[in-house]
């Protein structure tokens, strides 16, 4: 786009015909963004949404034109809280203030939480803990426009651009399906939104209308948010009444490094195999149950050990960090014990 500096404008204003002609030329050649204004990747994205998902080209172009790249978002994703050691991480979430607010939230929404537990088999304290860790029970839902976050990470953050570009597509589809103002919704630096911080694909696939008003609203309707968190866990095979993780201690010759290594959060062993390797823990689950040893670094330089079970893995489907899953479990335990 042609940029006119003050000195140029002043000069041209002395020549009305020249200024008028130049002004007409600027607007004639730049009324809206043309194909040449988009990168090859953006053009492919616009075309994909139009051809494969029936999103009008003008709609996608308008949103991309409004989206802004944010260096702050890129900086944030390169230094996530989950990169910290456990003894620094848990102090963010396991506080007296968060516990007290969680008990108040539970008391206020007890009926809905109990209905969600009965419907989906997920205990109230797990749902409350998720909302406590994610948004302090809906009081801190994020300050970045979701549109900006997903555009920035989808087109200007190569390490994960495929994932976030897919989430941007999902967000545009979501905004069409649920009549969500895509230019206004605020969320996290990663584009998560609402009480439970659902990313767009999770919103589309797991959100439920839990109060029966015909709308799935995770930003303003706490009943829908509670039901949707519970549904998310049920869809990821949460096992009602079963533990998620149990404390463990190890024998002198236990191959800790081998047992705690592995790809992602996959449960790499079984209960029986861990027992055979000198990992001691108490569970009534069968020896064939999938399990994995996790080590959490404490402030004194030592490690605490826990055995993650299928429900632990289910929590990591919400956030892939074992630190996150452990914080949720510890907060849920505090909530259950202190709410009497």
Please classify residue 306 by burial: count the beta carbons closer than 10 Å to its beta carbon, then call 0-12 exposed, 13-18 middle and 19+ buried.
buried
Cα 213 to Cα 33, 209, 210, 223, 224: the distances in Å are 40, 7, 8, 11, 10
| Per-residue pLDDT at 140 | 97
| Per-residue pLDDT at 25 | 39
Tell me what percent of the residues of the chain surpass a pLDDT of 70: 89
- Residue 213 has which token pair? 């008003």
| Per-residue pLDDT at 83 | 81
Whether residue 148 has pLDDT greater than 90: yes
- Residue 303 has which token pair? 């490690």
Q: Specify whether the CB–CB gap between 250 and 280 falls below 8 A.
A: yes
Whether residue 6 has pLDDT greater than 90: no
Quick check: is 134 catalytic?
yes
| Per-residue pLDDT at 35 | 55
Phi, psi of 291 (to 5 degrees): -160, 170
Q: Specify whether the CB–CB gap between 142 and 185 falls below 8 A.
A: no
3-state helix, strand, coil in the chain (%, to 5): 55, 10, 35
| Per-residue pLDDT at 265 | 82
| Confidence band of 8 (pLDDT split at 50, 70, 90) | very low
| Per-residue pLDDT at 336 | 97
| Confidence band of 80 (pLDDT split at 50, 70, 90) | confident
Whether residue 12 has pLDDT greater than 90: no
Quick one: CA torsion of 119, 126, 180, 321, rounded to 10 degrees? -130
Looking up tokens 């809906």 gives 138
| Per-residue pLDDT at 11 | 40
Choose among 68, 61, 53: nearest CA to 151.
68
Catalytic site residue from 42, 61, 125, 134: 134
Cα 41 to Cα 59, 189, 244, 258: the distances in Å are 17, 22, 42, 42
Averaged pLDDT, 307-328: 96
Q: What is the DSSP letter of 255?
A: -
CA 316 to chain CA centroid, nearest Å: 11
Averaged pLDDT, 290-298: 96
Averaged pLDDT, 257-283: 92
Residues with Cβ within 8 Å of residue 214, at least 6 apart in sequence: none
Provide the mean pLDDT of the chain: 90
CB atoms within 10 A of CB 293: 25
Averaged pLDDT, 207-227: 97
| Confidence band of 36 (pLDDT split at 50, 70, 90) | low
Q: What is the DSSP letter of 263?
A: S
- Residue 19 has which token pair? 């200024």
| Confidence band of 108 (pLDDT split at 50, 70, 90) | very high
| Confidence band of 253 (pLDDT split at 50, 70, 90) | very high
């Amino acid at each position: 786009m042609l940029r006119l500096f003050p000195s140029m404008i002043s000069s041209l204003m002395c020549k009305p015909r020249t200024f008028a002609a130049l002004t007409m030329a600027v607007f004639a050649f730049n009324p809206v963004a043309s194909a040449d204004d988009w990168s090859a990747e953006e053009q492919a994205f616009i075309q994909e949404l139009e051809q494969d998902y029936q999103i009008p080209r003008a709609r996608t172009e308008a949103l991309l034109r409004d989206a802004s790249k944010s260096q702050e978002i890129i900086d944030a994703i390169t230094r996530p809280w989950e990169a910290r050691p456990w003894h620094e991480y848990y102090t963010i979430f396991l506080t007296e203030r968060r516990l007290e607010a969680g008990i108040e939230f539970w008391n206020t929404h007890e009926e809905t939480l109990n209905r969600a537990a009965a419907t989906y088999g997920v205990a109230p304290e797990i749902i409350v803990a998720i909302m406590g860790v994610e948004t302090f029970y809906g009081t801190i839902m994020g300050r970045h426009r979701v549109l900006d976050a997903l555009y920035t990470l989808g087109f200007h953050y190569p390490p994960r651009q495929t994932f976030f570009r897919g989430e941007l597509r999902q967000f545009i589809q979501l905004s069409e399906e649920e009549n969500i103002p895509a230019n206004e919704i605020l969320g996290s630096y990663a584009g998560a939104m609402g009480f439970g911080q659902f990313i767009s694909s999770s919103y589309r696939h797991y959100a439920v209308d839990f109060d029966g008003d015909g709308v799935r609203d995770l930003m303003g309707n706490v009943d829908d948010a509670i039901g949707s968190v519970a549904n998310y866990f049920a869809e990821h095979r949460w096992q009602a009444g079963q533990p998620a993780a149990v404390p463990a201690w190890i024998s002198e010759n236990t191959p800790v490094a081998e047992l705690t290594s592995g790809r992602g959060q996959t449960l790499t062993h079984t209960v029986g195999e861990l027992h055979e390797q000198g990992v001691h823990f108490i569970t009534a689950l069968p020896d064939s149950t999938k399990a994995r040893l996790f080590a959490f670094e404490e402030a004194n330089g030592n490690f605490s050990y826990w055995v993650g079970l299928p429900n632990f893995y289910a929590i990591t489907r919400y956030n892939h960090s074992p630190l996150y899953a452990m914080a949720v479990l510890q907060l849920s335990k505090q909530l259950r014990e202190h709410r009497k």
